[in-house]
Amino acid sequence: MNNINLLLVGVGGQGTILASKVLAEVAMQSGLDVKMSEIHGMAQRGGSVVTHVKIGSKVFSPLVEKGEADIIMAFEQLEALRWLDYLKPEGEVLVSRQIIEPVPVILGKAKYPDNIVAEVKKVVSRVIAVDAVDIAGDCGNPKASNVVMIGMLAQKLDFSREVWIEALRKLVPPALLQINEAAFEKGCAC
Amino acid sequence: MKALLSGNEAIARGAYEAGIKTAVGYPGTPSTEILENITQYPGIYAQWSPNEKVAFEVGCGASISGARTLVTMKHVGVNVAADPLITFSYTGVNGGFVLVSADDPGMHSSQNEQDNRRYAEFAKIPAIEPSDSQEAKDFVKAALEISETFDTPVMLRITTRIAHSQSMVELGEPQSSELKAYVKNPVKYVMIPAYGRIRRAAVEERMQKLTKWARETSLNTIELKSRQYGIITSGICYQYVKEALPEASILKLGLTYPLSEELIKGFAQQVEQLFVVEELEPFFGEALESMGIKVAKKGLFAKIGELTVSLIKEKISAELGLDLPAQSKVETAGLPVAPARPPVLCPGCPHRAVFYTLKKLKLTVTGDIGCYTLGVLPPLEAIDTTICMGASIGTALGMEKSNPALVGKVVAVIGDSTFFHSGITGLVDMVYNKGRGTVMILDNSTTAMTGHQHHPATGKTLREETANVVKLAELARAVGVKRVVELDPFDLALIEKVIKEETAAPETSVIIAKRRCALLEKGTGKPVGIDRDKCINCKQCMALGCPAIALRDGRVTINTDICTGCNLCVQVCKFSAILKAGEGHE
């Protein structure tokens, strides 16, 4: 198979890293090579968080570079815009409509761009934007929005549904499993 | 069985499989997770030390006593541990000794980007560099074997992209390792000049043996493909080269110090043009030059920052005269620019009020390494200097002793973990030399920035065992500080009063601002609210730089999802327009 390159982008605390772990587990259980790279350190201090995931028969560099991502999965709108340079021209953007203002915006020193999804759609033909936080809230916990996004991603990748569910069961705390499975199903339907 | 592990997790697993008995370190990105992961494995004694020098020395003792030993730290930690490192090279080991140096090209979470391969050369010890998690695990065992065979500490050098990238690892069974007998041997382990001279010669002899062995070790591999060009590389750059130039012949150096001239010349002779691909210092490049081996282009890659696949492809293709297809990507030029998202002190962070007050009082602030370094960013902008761990106190003393205009105006700000790391000696110096500076210890009862590790005042060890709690105030008094004040950093008026008093006092003062890290207290407070009738939108509360206070349609609002109810903004507001939880706000 051709390698698949993904960028998972968001803000510290949104569950970006858990989502990438589920994805990597699915790839591994499907018998593929996978590498994943993330930058720690400032993640809990409200900074921009990015995880690179590369899947294929053989992966060398763990990093996705500009123009190489097949899919950008953004847990926050501004982060989708920030990392768009990394997308292939024929690539796809999955974005949660959540907005988390960065400090320069909070302080009134910078403006949070208007209509980011519409702007992104001007240059990317395949964009799916969902209210992942609301959907997760309906399932019992808005924090499961990352799993709604995982459900969306599952529709785009050629892995069996059972493997996704199995990976969730392995990586999500048992107490939250029911909510997360519901969030996954909702995500699959987006 | 296969598992997806980060380089750090793989090193921990390698330590377990290779029979490491003692593991020591000080937290520092990107090395921290190695020790955190080692605690899951039975049979390994693991601990945090107050700093890397002590950690290294605990490791020396462990090795000399007969245990296979792992010591972990970030690149700048090796500076702190350099003193024992260079002489431990002389004594050599009993149980195998591995020093993990986690370098940070690109400075993702560091104050500099030094290349610690230079330390291997300087200390005259071998360095090995894994290129993925499998090798990170396997190289721990290899390092121990080198250490015991050649009687030397060994550096396992990794970089951020190895430490924090995950790849597949074949797990093995743990190998039992016996504690070696401890035999008293002063000529080997007591480095008085007479014995040191003997060991000095042993070091040179060892390097000669290692250099000879570098020719044959399977840590170095050759992949012969194109005869047109070959690349010498190591570590993560090997993966970049494989992806960028699949046809290249490659000499992959697993042993990056010492280098074998014979091996490199042999490789060079098999290709028409030779390139070196390495991040940071031209370590291989200079070695090749001194061996008289010609490379196609010197200085092809900048010494600054990280390399990338595309950069390697572009530079080497250009040298080879190959045309590259233009990289196509999404046309983003016409899109709005994304405002930066810098890291920031968390809502409810106990450091915020300190920096707010220091700025208000227009004091000169010498800073240190930790979350509180974020006090340099707008709108707090309170910090004047940050050099390295522990530097705040000495720097403050140097300023007041040298510039009369700064006497009584300098405050050193240091975290609790950093104070134990290397602030204590600075404080002793300040008292001893009659400094009249003010030292503020921001005690949030954890090592926050690296992910909340224990230290000598948290009452817990790395393995969560109950431990002695060092009392900071008692310690300060014990070294001779007479003015020691403990306060709650959520009491803004008190902070201001105390800082004014202590900076005016003609002797050394210590202020301990004590409150647990907001991330450890998550969800315990109730959010504040705004009384719209009273708020005149003066925005003074926004000078706190709290992410929970935002402008919406030009009006100050509270983001109740993230407000922790620390009530600093309540205290800042001159119009009583911000109300504590339960006081009837909107």
- Single-letter code of the amino acid located at B373: T
One domain for residues B490 and B363 = yes
- On chain B, the residues whose CB falls within 8 A of the CB of A66 are 310, 327, 329
Percent of chain A with pLDDT over 70: 97
Q: What is the pLDDT of residues A125-149, one digit of tens each?
A: 999 999 999 999 999 999 999 999 9
Is the pLDDT at B117 greater than 90? The verdict is yes
One domain for residues B293 and B394 = no
Q: Average pLDDT for residues B249-268, to the nearest whole number?
A: 98
Task: Print the domain residue range for B551.
Answer: 529-579
Q: How many domains does chain B have?
A: 4
Flag whether residue A37 sits within 8 Å of chain B, measured between CB atoms.
Answer: yes
Q: What is the CATH number of the domain that holds B567?
A: 3.30.70.20
Mean pLDDT of chain A: 93
- The one-character DSSP state at B485 is E
Q: What is the CATH number of the domain that holds A26?
A: 3.40.920.10
> Are residues A84 and B330, on separate chains, in Cβ contact within 8 Å?
yes
Is the pLDDT at B220 greater than 70? The verdict is yes
Is the pLDDT at B523 greater than 80? The verdict is no
Q: Name which of B164, B449, B549 is nearest A39 (Cβ-Cβ).
A: B164
C-alpha distance from B328 to closest chain A C-alpha (Å): 6
Q: Which of B414, B420, B415, B427 is nearest to B470 (CA)?
A: B420
One domain for residues B545 and B492 = no
> Are residues B165 and A62, on separate chains, in Cβ contact within 8 Å?
yes
- On chain A, the residues whose CB falls within 8 A of the CB of B377 are 103
Domain assignment present for B501: yes
Q: Average pLDDT for residues B40-50, to the nearest whole number?
A: 97
Q: What is the pLDDT of residues B53-110, one digit of tens each?
A: 999 999 999 999 999 999 999 999 999 999 999 999 999 999 999 999 999 999 999 9
Task: Print the domain residue range for A124.
Answer: 4-188
Chain B residue whose CA is closest to A24: B4
Q: What is the CATH number of the domain that holds B295?
A: 3.40.50.920
Q: Which of B437, B417, B443 is nearest to B515 (CA)?
A: B443
C-alpha distance from B1 to closest chain A C-alpha (Å): 12
pLDDT of res. B176: 81
> Are residues B339 and A112, on separate chains, in Cβ contact within 8 Å?
yes
> Are residues B379 and A106, on separate chains, in Cβ contact within 8 Å?
no
Is the pLDDT at A4 greater than 80? The verdict is yes
pLDDT confidence band for A190 (50 / 70 / 90):
confident
pLDDT of res. B197: 98
One domain for residues B395 and B268 = no
Q: Average pLDDT for residues B376-386, to the nearest whole number?
A: 96
Structure tokens that stand for B56 in this block = 């290294």
- B277 with B301: CB under 8 angstroms? yes
- B568 with B356: CB under 8 angstroms? yes
Domain assignment present for B333: no
- B530 with B456: CB under 8 angstroms? no
Q: Give dist(CA B310, CA A54) in Å, integer.
A: 16
Chain A residue whose CA is closest to B336: A113
> Are residues A85 and B329, on separate chains, in Cβ contact within 8 Å?
yes
One domain for residues B155 and B228 = no
- B133 with B165: CB under 8 angstroms? yes
Domain assignment present for B328: no
- B457 with B423: CB under 8 angstroms? no
pLDDT of res. B584: 62
> Are residues B341 and A65, on separate chains, in Cβ contact within 8 Å?
no
Q: Name which of B4, B236, B550 is nearest A28 (Cβ-Cβ).
A: B4
> Are residues B161 and A63, on separate chains, in Cβ contact within 8 Å?
yes
Flag whether residue A112 sits within 8 Å of chain B, measured between CB atoms.
Answer: yes
In order, the DSSP letters of B308-324 are -HHHHHHHHHHHHT---
> Are residues B346 and A46, on separate chains, in Cβ contact within 8 Å?
yes
Interhelix angle B424-432/B391-402, nearest 10 degrees: 20
Q: How far is CA B440 from the centre of its chain?
A: 23
One domain for residues B401 and B295 = no
Q: Average pLDDT for residues B565-583, to the nearest whole number?
A: 93
> Are residues A89 and B329, on separate chains, in Cβ contact within 8 Å?
yes
Q: What is the pLDDT of residues B270-279, one digit of tens each?
A: 999 999 999 9
pLDDT of res. B388: 98
One domain for residues B429 and B544 = no
Is the pLDDT at A1 greater than 80? The verdict is no
End-to-end CA distance of chain B: 57
C-alpha distance from A41 to closest chain B C-alpha (Å): 6
> Are residues B165 and A102, on separate chains, in Cβ contact within 8 Å?
no
The beta-strand segments (E) located in B405-516 are 410-415, 438-443, 483-487, 509-514
C-alpha distance from B65 to closest chain A C-alpha (Å): 35
C-alpha distance from A59 to closest chain B C-alpha (Å): 8
pLDDT of res. B583: 78
C-alpha distance from A179 to closest chain B C-alpha (Å): 20
- Single-letter code of the amino acid located at B352: R
- A142 with A14: CB under 8 angstroms? no
pLDDT confidence band for A40 (50 / 70 / 90):
low
C-alpha distance from B585 to closest chain A C-alpha (Å): 21
Size of interface A-B (CB pairs under 8 A): 171
Of B486, B514, B542, the residue that ends a domain is: B514
In order, the DSSP letters of B255-272 are EEESPPHHHHHHHHHTSS
**Cβ neighbours for B67, distance < 8 A, ≥ 6 positions apart:** B21, B22, B95, B179, B180
Structure tokens that stand for B97 in this block = 């000794």
Domain assignment present for B250: yes
Flag whether residue A11 sits within 8 Å of chain B, measured between CB atoms.
Answer: yes
Give the long-range contacts of residues B79-84, CB within 8 A, separation 24 or more.
Answer: B79/B114, B79/B388, B80/B51, B80/B52, B80/B53, B80/B389, B80/B421, B80/B422, B81/B52, B81/B53, B81/B55, B81/B56, B82/B119, B82/B123, B83/B53, B84/B53, B84/B56, B84/B57, B84/B60
Flag whether residue A80 sits within 8 Å of chain B, measured between CB atoms.
Answer: no
Domain assignment present for B404: yes
Is the pLDDT at B567 greater than 70? The verdict is yes
Element of type H or E holding A19: helix A16-29
Structure tokens that stand for B567 in this block = 């009530």
Domain assignment present for B242: yes
Chain B residue whose CA is closest to A36: B166
Largest CA distance in chain A: 49
Q: What is the CATH number of the domain that holds B147?
A: 3.40.50.970
C-alpha distance from A112 to closest chain B C-alpha (Å): 7
pLDDT confidence band for A42 (50 / 70 / 90):
low
- Single-letter code of the amino acid located at B232: I
Is the pLDDT at B411 greater than 60? The verdict is yes
Q: What is the pLDDT of residues B421-464, one digit of tens each?
A: 999 999 999 999 999 999 999 999 999 999 999 999 999 999 99
Domain assignment present for B330: no
Q: Give dist(CA A136, CA A149) in Å, integer.
A: 10
- The one-character DSSP state at B544 is G
Q: Average pLDDT for residues B116-142, to the nearest whole number?
A: 98
> Are residues A44 and B29, on separate chains, in Cβ contact within 8 Å?
no
Domain assignment present for B102: yes
Q: Name which of A25, A46, A82 is nearest B343 (Cβ-Cβ).
A: A46
Structure tokens that stand for B332 in this block = 């983003």
Q: What is the pLDDT of residues B159-207, one digit of tens each?
A: 999 999 999 999 999 988 889 999 999 999 999 999 999 999 999 999 9
Q: What is the pLDDT of residues B320-370, one digit of tens each?
A: 999 888 878 898 999 999 999 988 899 999 999 999 999 999 999 999 999
Of B491, B514, B537, the residue that ends a domain is: B514
> Are residues A81 and B328, on separate chains, in Cβ contact within 8 Å?
no
> Are residues B340 and A67, on separate chains, in Cβ contact within 8 Å?
no
Is the pLDDT at B419 greater than 80? The verdict is yes
- On chain A, the residues whose CB falls within 8 A of the CB of B551 are 106-108
Q: Name which of B161, B379, B547 is nearest A62 (Cβ-Cβ).
A: B161
- On chain A, the residues whose CB falls within 8 A of the CB of B109 are 39-42
Q: How many domains does chain A have?
A: 1
pLDDT of res. B326: 80
C-alpha distance from A155 to closest chain B C-alpha (Å): 23
> Are residues A84 and B332, on separate chains, in Cβ contact within 8 Å?
yes
Q: From residue A99, how far is each of A79, A136, A142, B156, B425 by CA, in Å?
A: 9, 15, 14, 42, 47
